[in-house]
Amino acid sequence: MQRLNRDAIIAIILLAFCGVFFLSSFDIRQPDYGVLMPSTWPRVVIGVLAFLSVLYLIQSTSAGAEAIEDDKYDAEHTRGPGFRGWLGHWRNPLWCFFLFFLYLLSLPILGMLIGGITFVYVLMGVLGGWDGNKPILHAVFAFATIGGMWSLFTFGLGVLLPPGMILGQF
Amino acid sequence: MIIENTIAAFVELGNFKTILLMLVGVAGGLIAGAIPGFTIAMAIVLTLPFTFGMPPSMGLATMVSVLVGGLSGGLMAGILTGIPGTPSSVATTFDGFPMARNGEPGLALGIGVWSSFCGGIISAILLMTLAPQLARVGLEFNPWDYFMLVMFALTITASLSGKNMIKGLIAGAVGLLVRTVGEDEAVGMARFNFGNDALLQGFDFIAVLIGLFAFSQLLNDVRDPKIAKKALTERGVVKVRIEHRRAIVEVLKRWTIVVRSSLIGVFTGILPGAGGSIANILAYDQAKKASKHPEKFGTGIADGIIAPESSNNAVEGGALIILMALGIPGDVTAAVMLGALLIHDIIPSPSFITDEPVLAYSIFIAFFIATFMMIGMQSFMLRVFVLVTRVRMYVLASVILGFCGIGVFALHNVTFDLWTLLWFGILGFVMRHFGFPLAPMILGVVLGNIAEINLARALAITSDLSPFVTRPWSLFFLIIAVFSALFPLYVGQREKKKTWTVFFMPVACFAASIPLFMMGGSARTVLAAIVLCFGFYQLWRRWQNGWRFEAEK
C-alpha cells in the first residue's frame, strides 16, 4: 500500500505543479501583436502534463502495489526506521547536495579555486572516510585535479573564473 | 561538390592543434566509455565547456572524437571484466567475456576493436552520403511539418525509453515546460520567472543537461556507500596484447554480419529515441537468428562480438544524419552535440549543410578520422584503462562534480548556471529514483523552443489548424507519432493475445501509406505502394493463421 501511494503522491504533486504554473501563466503579459500569445504554448504543455498526470494517478491507484517496482538500490537495501533511517539510506546523495550547496554559497568568498578544492576534498572525505593516509591522498587529488582544471581554464582557455574575496585581493 | 567540400574539410581539420585535440578526445572517450557507470553522453557533456573557446570546427571535431572513442571504449570493460562500460556494449559481454575467459582476451579485444572500426566506417560513409540527401527532403518541410516532427521525436523517445510510457511522456512534457521559462523567443515576454530576474534568461540548456545527466548519474554512482568505496572494477584486469592480425581475418570472414549489424545500427540511430543500448541487443539477436549455430552464442564466439560492436559504433552515424539534416537530435548524445553546435552559434537545419558546407563536412570527416584514431589508440589506452580501474568510485565522482562546477560556469560566466546545475541534478536524481526516463525530458528541453517557434510560424501563416492534417509530411509524422505512442500498449497486449493487436501493424502500414501517396513523385508513390502491400501481406498472413500471429500447431 505504501509503495502504491508513492506513485499516487507523485501524480498529485505533478497536478499541483501544473496548477501553480497554470495560475502563473495568467501573469504573462499579452502583447497586442503576434498570433501565438506567449501564454498559449505553455498552457498547451501544462494541459498535456495535467492530462498525463491524471492518467498516471489513475494508473497508480488502479494497479496493484506489486506492479510498482522499487529501483535496484532500494530493493537491495532495507531502510532503517524513522527519519534517521531515511537519512542513513540517502546519506551519500544528501552529502553531495549539501556540500555542493555550500560550495555555491561560499563561491563569492572562497572563489572557484579554493572553494572547488575544499568541496572536492571534503566530499572525498565524507564519501570515502578519513582513516589512514586518506586525508593526505585526498588533498593531493583535490589540489592536482581542481587546481589543474582551474589553471587550464584560467591560463589555457582565458576564462575568468570567480576569484572570490580571498584571491581577489591579489 | 562533395569532393571539394571533403578536401576543404580535410584542410580545416588538418592542423596540429586539431589533430592533437582529436587524439586527446578519442583517448578520453575510450576511458570514459570503459568506466562502468559512466556514459558516453556524460563524457561529451563534460567536454563541452572546453570546446567553447575553440573555433567551431576544432571544437566539434574534439567532441566527435570523444563520441567515437566512447562508443568503442565500452568493449574494453565488457570483454575484460564482464561489466559493460556503457549500455551500448551490454551484448558484447555475452560472447566477449567468455572468449576472454577461454584464454583469448587479445583476440576478443581485437575482434571488438575491428568490428567497431568497420561499423564506424560504414556509418561515416552513410552519414556523408545520406545526410545531404535527407537535408534536401528536409527543405520541403514547413512549420507544420517541423512541429509534428518534434512531436513524433518526443513520442517515440518516450515510448522507447522506459517500461512505463506515461512516465516517459510526463518527462517529455516537463522538459517542454522547463524550456518555456524565461523570455519567449517570438515576442520576448517574461514567462514563469516568479519575479526573479535571473530566470528571465531561462535555464541554460547545457547546465540543465549536465545537471540532469552527469550530476544525477554521479550521485547514483556513489549512492551505495559500499560500492562508492570500491575500485571501479573489483575483478582483476589482466594485461593483454590485442591480436590485430587474427582479429582482422575473423572480422573479414564474417563481413555479412558486419554489414547487417552496421545497417541495424545506422537505422536505430536514425530513429529518434533508439540508441546504442537497443542497437547492440538487436544486432546480436539478428546475428543469432541468422546463424547456422545459434546454440554457440554465449560461449565465446566471434559472431557474438562482431554484431553488437559493429552496430553500436554505427548508431551515432545514424543519429548524426538526422541531426545534421533536420536539426532534430535522435538521442541524448546527439542532443549534446546539438548543444555544442548551438554554443558555437550554429543552428542545424535542412539548409545547414548547404549554408555551412565546410563545417558540416568537417563533422563528417572528423567522424571518419576519429574512427581511424580509435584503432591506433586502443592498445595504448588499454594500459591506461588498467590503471583507471584501480581508482575508487567516490574519488572519481567527487573530482568530476568539481569539474562540472568549473565547466558549467565557464560556459557563460554566470553563477546562476551553477544553481541550475544543482537543482536539475537533484531533479534528475529524483526522476531516476522514481523510474522517470531522462532522455524524453532532455529532448523536451532541446526541442521545446523548436516546437514553439514552428507553431508560432505556422499560426502566423494561417490561423487555420487543418494544415497539420492535410500537409503530407505533417500527417505522416502525426500518424507515426500516434502509432509509436500506441506501440508499447500493442506489445503488452500482443502477449495477452488481444484480437485488436492482430490488426495493429497492417492498419499502421495503411495509415502511413496515405501521406506517402499524397506526397506524389514516383519514388514516394512506389514506397507508398510497398508499404501498402506490406500491410496487405501481413493481413493475409494473419487471416491464413486464423486471425492470429502464428498458426496454432
Confidence of residue B24 (pLDDT cuts 50, 70, 90): very high
> Which residues neighbour B211 within 8 Å (Cβ) at sequence distance 6 or greater?
B420, B421, B422, B423, B424, B425, B427, B428
Whether A97 and A159 map to the same domain: the answer is yes
Say whether pLDDT at B199 is over 60.
Answer: yes
Look at residues B428, B454, B480 and tell me which one is the last residue of a structural domain.
Answer: B454
Least confident of B74-83, B101-110, B230-239: B230-239
Q: Which pLDDT tens digit goes with each residue over A7-18?
A: 899 999 999 999
In a domain, B459, yes or no: no
Q: Are residues B442 and B476 in the same domain?
A: no
ipTM value for the complex: 0.91
Residue B461 maps to a domain: no
Instruction: Kindly give, in sequence order, each residue whose CB lies less than 8 Å from that of residue B292, ignoring residues fewer than 6 positions away.
Output: none
pTM of the model: 0.84
Q: How many angstroms separate the CA of residue B168 from the nearest CA in chain A?
A: 10
Residues A105 and A146 grouped into a single domain:
yes
**B491 domain residue, yes or no:** yes
Contact list in A for residue B409 (CB cut-off 8 A) is 112, 161-162
Domain extent, residue A96, equals 90-167
Q: CB under 8 Å to B391, separation ≥6 — which residues?
A: B231, B232
**Number of structural domains chain B divides into:** 2
What distance in Å separates residue B179's CA from the closest CA in chain A? Answer: 9
Residues B494, B366 share a domain: no
**In sequence order, what are the beta bridge partners of B231?**
B392
Q: How many domains does chain A have?
A: 2
Distance from CA of A83 to the nearest CA of B (A): 18
Read off the pLDDT of each residue in B269-296 and give the average, rounded to a whole number: 80
User: Which chain B residues are Cβ-neighbours of A53 within 8 angstroms?
Assistant: 170
Residue B386 sits in the same domain as residue B492: no
Question: Which of residues A69, A99, A122 is at a domain's end?
Answer: A69
Q: Is B263 left (phi over 0), alpha (psi -120 to 50) or beta?
A: alpha
Report CA A95 to chain centroid distance, whole Å. Answer: 12
Nearest to A63 by CA among A1, A20, A107: A1
User: Residues A113, A163: one domain?
Assistant: yes
d(CA A51, CA A59): 12
CB contact under 8 A, B398 and A91: no
Specify if A76 maps to a domain.
Answer: no
pLDDT digits (tens, 9 = 90+) for B174-193: 999 999 999 887 778 889 98
Q: Are residues B374 and B258 in the same domain?
A: yes
Same structural domain, A47 and A96: no
Please identify among residues 57-116 of chain A the ones whose CB lies closer than 8 Å to any CB of chain B. Answer: 59, 69, 71, 73-74, 77, 91-93, 96-97, 100-101, 103-104, 107, 112, 116
Are B299 and B384 members of one domain?
yes
**pLDDT 10s digits, B125-146:** 888 888 888 888 888 888 999 8
Residue A77: the pLDDT is 67
pLDDT reported for residue A67? 52
- Would residue B531 count as lying in a domain? yes
Please judge whether B402 and A119 are an interchain contact, meaning their C-beta atoms are less than 8 angstroms apart: yes
